[in-house]
Structure 1
Amino acid sequence: MRPSVFRVVAKRWDCGWELHIEDVGVTQVKRLNNAEETVRDYIALDRDLDPDSFDVEITPDVGEELGRGIAEAKRATADAERAQERAAKKNRRVAGLLRQAGLSGREIALVLMVSPQRVSQLLSPGDKSGLLRRYGGRDAGREEVPGDKRRLA
């Protein structure tokens, strides 16, 4: 059985990046942004596969110290996203209570110090997922493209 995901560790060196493809081999690129295409071509030739028939997961190895810094930054980002989600939930709740108390959308906007558009979003009954994911959180700017097999770990 052939793996559906090939894992790659990209290691920095003087002339670019060494790409260590698990259970396949090693190749190299000058720039990390070219790694996926190079890895796909390498695997396709080595394993006689269609380059689009598998996923590639690339993990850049930037060293222990920088790796710790990256991990800390990612944790801080995740913590901030969770805090924003909690804040959005509280804002939705209080906006609903203000509406029940008879305030208009514009009045709610003034009280909460947000835009009237944001009040509309907060009061929207269909929006329980958290606007953050769509407009400012972890998935912002990411659109899933059918057939796109790229993943950067």
Structure 2
Amino acid sequence: MDASRSESGQLHAGGDPVLVVARQWERGWELFLDRRVVTQVASLGSAEQQIRDYLDTVDPEADHAHWEITVAVESHPKGGVDDRA
């Protein structure tokens, strides 16, 4: 399901997975939604749960527990991604 924004700015579920881009930095990973850094994690293995926690914070009315989240690792600084994470 995707995290698209309604006219009110609220996140809501759609039919596609939530796509998260992970960019490595010296202390872990920055996680991007819609090209904005929304949170960080020390380990890439924690990214999916961290995004669920973020979504729960910005949209507490929705149950994000079963949303499909895809983490794509940025492969180069120009913004390309490698979704094999």
TM-score class, shorter-chain normalisation, is 0.5 to 0.7
Q: Distance in 2 between matches of 1:47 and 1:9?
A: 20
TM-score w.r.t. structure 1 length? 0.38
- The reply on whether 1:19 has 2:26 as its aligned counterpart is no
Structure 1: runs of 5 or more not aligned: 71-151
Structure 2: runs of 5 or more not aligned: 1-5, 7-11
Please state which structure has a larger fraction of its residues in strand.
2
Q: Distance in 1 between matches of 2:35 and 2:55?
A: 10
Q: Report the identity percentage.
A: 31
Q: Which residue of 2 aligns with 1:105?
A: none
Give the greater-gyration-radius structure (CA): 1
Matching of residues 51-90 of structure 1 within 5 Å: 51-63=64-76
RMSD: 2.9
Q: Which residue of 2 aligns with 1:50?
A: 63
Q: Displaced runs of 4+ in structure 1, greater than 4 A? A: none
Matching of residues 58-137 of structure 1 within 5 Å: 58-63=71-76
1:3 alignment partner, one of 3, 13, 19:
13
1:28 alignment partner, one of 25, 33, 40:
40
AA of the residue aligned to 1:38:
Q
Please state which structure has a larger fraction of its residues in helix.
1
